[in-house]
Amino acid sequence: MKQATDVSFTDFNYLRQLVHEHSAVVLYADKTYLAELHLQPIAESTGFASITDLITHLRTQPFSSLHVQVIEALVTNETSFFRDIYPFEALKRFVLPELVKIRAIERSLNIWCAACSNGQEPYSIAMLIREHFPMLASWSVRLIASDFSNKVLTRARQGSYNQLEIQRGLPKPLRDRYFQKREGNWQIKDEIRQMVEFHQINLMQSWLSLPQIDVIFLRNALIYFDLTTKKDLLKKVKQQLRPNGYLFLGSGETTISLDDSFERVQLDKSTCYRLHNKT
């Protein structure tokens, strides 16, 4: 079996530049273990004797699907069902009840999970809607999920999870109601899977394919970007968010000192953001 090799400072700097140029994600200098962990399987499957040989090839060849594969491996983030439960509680107890009243005449609602990874976040929201807001079945509801990586989107669309992924955050009653055991994994039922539409979107590029959004989940993404990119992203969020809409960020993220168009809203144990009223 081929063994992983240490990634040199020079090689990792090349990878950092490659990732930043194509995704705007900042890989910090102390994250060489990410390359050693995620690139060894790629090196083996593509016939390179080591990660070093793989990187040497990338350096000398025009940008290709192999470069994309490497970038996706380095920027893919971990996720889980109902991760950091409080935003989902806020969505259930405050945000959706309010929006249901505000949008009662048009009966339309758009929710976007950006950087959705393997799909646990949007499927968590879909289950929450199915459980607690049956009236929305007659509305026009778009639950949009996107990610930079086509690889994770393929997994997300399949909606198949292993035992470890299922055990992380998913209550057993929801597992029993909305999943079925299939070939050793847990397959989400079509009634939930079909509630979510998945799109490949690089957050740095155009969002023109998206409608105006009522609730944006952009959680645990800003932390990977530099200051300028964070400000640019929030400017785009500002243009995409409907009046009275909500933005959810990760627990360690904020709009403060980045964009004063947003106001911080505390909903029990969850923090989210809204655009300041223009009146």
pLDDT (average), residues 49-69? 90
pLDDT one-digit tens code per residue, 133-154:
999 999 999 999 999 888 889 9
Instruction: Write the single-letter amino acid at 74.
Output: L
Selection from 163, 157, 167, 148 nearest residue 81 by Cα = 167
Residues 71 and 140 in one domain: no
What is the structure's pLDDT at 252? 87
Q: What is the mean pLDDT of the chain?
A: 91
CATH code: domain of residue 257: 3.40.50.150
Residues 68 and 100 in one domain: no
Residues 66 and 128 in one domain: no
Of 40, 75, 110, the last residue of a domain is 75
What is the structure's pLDDT at 35? 85
Mapping DSSP to helix (H, G, I), strand (E, B) and coil, where does residue 270 land?
strand
CATH code: domain of residue 29: 1.10.155
Is the pLDDT reported for residue 213 higher than 90? yes
pLDDT (average), residues 231-251? 94
Higher local confidence (pLDDT), 75 or 188: 188
Residues 68 and 193 in one domain: no
What is the structure's pLDDT at 5? 56
Residues 159 and 48 in one domain: no
Selection from 192, 196, 81 nearest residue 144 by Cα = 196
Of 75, 102, 120, the last residue of a domain is 75
Instruction: Please give the model's pTM, rounded to 2 decimal places.
Output: 0.85
Is the pLDDT reported for residue 279 higher than 60? no
Residues 46 and 97 in one domain: no
Instruction: Look up the domain containing 37 and give its range.
Output: 9-75
Residues 122 and 229 in one domain: yes
Residues 38 and 141 in one domain: no
Residues 118 and 206 in one domain: yes
4 in a structural domain = no
Question: Taking a C-beta distance cutoff of 8 angstroms, is the pair 199, 146 a contact?
Answer: yes
Residues 150 and 228 in one domain: yes
Find the angle CA(46)-CA(52)-CA(55) to the nearest 5 degrees.
65
Mapping DSSP to helix (H, G, I), strand (E, B) and coil, where does residue 247 land?
strand
Question: Taking a C-beta distance cutoff of 8 angstroms, is the pair 163, 129 a contact?
Answer: no
Two tokens at 20? 């930043």
DSSP string across 110-155: EEEESS-TTTHHHHHHHHHHHHH-GGGGGSEEEEEEEES-HHHHHH
CB burial readout 9-27, b (16+ within 10 A) else e: eebbebbbebbbebbbbeb
1 in a structural domain = no
Is the pLDDT reported for residue 32 higher than 90? no
Of 75, 109, 131, the last residue of a domain is 75
Q: How many structural domains compose the chain?
A: 2
2 in a structural domain = no
What is the structure's pLDDT at 219? 93
Question: Taking a C-beta distance cutoff of 8 angstroms, is the pair 2, 43 a contact?
Answer: yes
Distance CA 261, CA 278 (A): 10
70 in a structural domain = yes
pLDDT one-digit tens code per residue, 176-203:
999 999 988 999 999 999 999 999 999 9
Residues 204 and 100 in one domain: yes
Two tokens at 29? 């200098």
What is the structure's pLDDT at 31? 78
Please list the alpha-helical segments (H only) found in 48-85: 51-60, 65-75
Is the pLDDT reported for residue 4 higher than 70? no
Higher local confidence (pLDDT), 276 or 101: 101
**Residue indicated by tokens 């005449």:** 105
